Amino acid sequence: MKARTVYVCSACGAQSPRWAGQCPACKEWNCLSEEVQALASRSSGAAAVSGAGKAVSLAELDATPHAARPTGLSELDRFLGKGLVPGAALLLGGEPGIGKSTFLLQLCGLLAAQGERVLYVTGEESLPQLKSRAERLDVLAPTLLAMASNSADEAMAAMRAEKPVLVVIDSVQTLASSLADGLPGSVSQVRAVSAQLVEEARKCGAALTLVGHVTKEGQIAGPKLMEHMVDTVLYLEGDRRHIFRILRVLKNRFGPSDELIVFTMAEQGLEIVPDPSTFFLGARDPSLSGAAVVMAMDGQKPFAVEVQALVSQSFLSIPRRAAMGFPPNRLHLLLAVMEKHLRLNFGQLDIYAKIGGGLQLAEPGLDLGLVAAVLSSFYDVPLPESAVFWGEVDLNGQIRPCQGHEIRFKQASRLGYGPILHPGSGKKGVKRLTDFQVALFGAKKTS
C-alpha cells in the first residue's frame, strides 16, 4: 500500500494536493489540515473490479428481507416512510440539549418492547447515566443493549456479535477509527467512522442511526459527504425555553422529504402532538388588537399560528423595527409596501412583530397575516374573532397565491374559521392590499 499526503478542508471536506491559506472550494480561511491516505495498487483495484457481482433484474429481485420494520408509532412510521429499513443509515442533527438522545432512547425502547434487539452505543456518557435516563423514560427492557465506547471497531464488533435490528451511535464525532489518523471529530475520522459503520450496518441488516453535532450556524458538523452517505437526514429543532420540538426530514430515500412531527417535552420524554393544527395558538384573546391568525404550512402540514404586531409612537430619531420568528427584512419590505400603496405613514412609529409560541417560519404565506396584524394595531381595532389569513404580498401591493392553497383552505374550513381571507380573484379572495384594507376596516380607513 502506497501513501500520499493531501490537505482536507474542515469546513466542507474538499481535498487539495497542497496547503493553502484559503480553501479553493468554500473559500474559508485556515481550515486545511494534513491527512495521509493509503493508495491501493492497480493490481488490487483490477481484482476488485473482476470480482464484482453481476447485474440482476430488479423485477425479479426479492426485496422482502429489506422491508421496512414498524417502530410502534404510526405517526413516526408515516414520517419515515413505512418504518425503519434494514441496512439503512439515518443521520440525526440538532442543537445541544434539544432532545436527540432522549428521542433515540425512546425509539430504542419502542423496538425493545416488541422483543427486538437494539444496540445503543454512547461515546458521551457512562452506562449508569444512560440507565438512569432510560429508567426516567421507562424504556428498560432485556433486549435493550448498551455500550460505552469511543472506538468504531468495538462498535462494529458488537454489531456483528449481537445482530441488533437498530444501532444508535451517539455521537459519530466521539468515535475514532483505526483506519484514519487524527483526533475523534476531525474530518478524516468522521468520514472513516461513518463509512465503516454504514458498510457494517448493510452487512448485518441493521438500521443505523448516527447522531451528528451541529456548528454554530446550525449545520450538521463534519464533511458534507456524510449527508450523502446516509439514506435519511433528520433535524430536531426548537427553543429549549419552550416545550415543543419539531423533527424535520431534510432527505429521505424511503419516503417524503418535506414532512415534520411536532413533539412536546414532558417528564416522560418527547410526546407526539397528534394534531398540531391549533397547538401553537395557545390561549389567545381575540378581542385584542394587533393579533392575526395565519394558516401556515411547513412541509405538507397546515397549522394555525398567531402573528402579533405592536405599533406605538416613537420618541427616537430613528424608529425601532424588530421581528421575532421570521426574517426582519420581510417586516421592512412589507412596511414599505404598505406605506406606498395604502398611503400610511410609519415614519414616527415603533413597530414590533413576532410569531406566537416561539416558532421560526420563513414561508411567504405569512405576509398577509403580518399586514393584518400591523393594520389592526395601527388602527387599534381587533380583527374578526374567527378570521384567518394567508397569502404572499409582492412589491406592487398585489396578493399572490402561495403553495398549498387547497390544503390550507380545507384545514381552515375544518377548524371552523371565517372569514377566510386568501389570495384569489373576485368573490373567492382578495387581489390587492387596498381591497384587503377595505374588507377589514372599511373605506374610510384607506386615506
54 marked as binding residue: no
217 marked as binding residue: no
β-strand partners of 295:
304
100 marked as binding residue: yes
13 marked as binding residue: no
C-alpha cell at 436: 384587503
101 marked as binding residue: yes
223 marked as binding residue: no
299 marked as binding residue: no
95 marked as binding residue: yes
The annotation places the binding site at: 94-101
The annotation places the binding site for ATP at: 94-101
